[in-house]
Amino acid sequence: MNILLVCNAGMSTGIMKMKLEQEAQKRNLDATIQAIPMAELDSYMEGVSAIILGPQIRFALNDIKKSASGIPVMAISPQDFGMMNASKVLDDVLAEINK
């Protein structure tokens, strides 16, 4: 499973990426998580299972959904992002993928 974590510069989501990796490991999930800047999203889309956005760029959600051609896209809620609640975020992503 290949998850893209997108924020403006790919910096602040770096912490979330670490937490998500730990969480995936805990659950014995085989998941690769990449934190990337929004401007480079287009060149990363191939072979991706889900795209999740930091709340600071949630305004781009619909736009990215359109260009993602079927890849599940979701925005992390501000609360989950602030508390770095990786377990909840991972639950949401898995639910989104299995929908």
Partner 1 sequence: MDKFISFMDSKIAPIANKLARQKYLQALQNTFLALIPFMTIGSFALIIISPPMDYTKMGPGALRTIFYGWSMVANFLSPMLGYIYKATMSVMSLYVAIGLGYNLAKHYKLKSILPIFITTASFFIAATMSSDASISFTYFDASGLFTAILISIGSFELYRILAEKKVGYINLEGGGVPPALTDSIGNLVPSVIVLGAVSVVSYIVLSLTGSGIPALMAVIMTPIVKSVDSIWGVVILALVVMIFWWFGIHDTVITGPLSPFLVNNYTANMTAFAAGTAATALPYIVTEPFWWTFMAIGGSGATFGLAILALTSKSKQIKTIGKITMIPAFFNINEPLIFGLPIMYNPTLMIPFTLVMPLNAVVTYLAMNSGLVARTFADASWNMFSPIGALINTMDVKALILVLFMIVIDTIIYLPFFKTYEKQKLKEEMDAGEENQG
Residues of span 18-47 touching partner 1 by CB under 8 A: 37-40, 42-43
Among 2, 12, 65, 88, binds partner 1 (CB under 8 A): 12
Q: Residue 5 is encoded by which pair of tokens? A: 């974590």
What are the helix (H) ranges across 1-99? 13-26, 61-67, 78-82, 86-98
Catalytic residue at 51? Answer: no
Q: Which of 21, 44, 45, 58 binds partner 1 (CB under 8 A)?
A: 58
Collapsed DSSP state (helix, strand, coil) of residue 74: strand
Name 25's bridge partners. Answer: none
Residues at the site binding partner 1, with contacts judged by CB under 8 A: 7-9, 11-12, 15, 37-40, 42-43, 54-60, 62-63, 78-79, 81-84
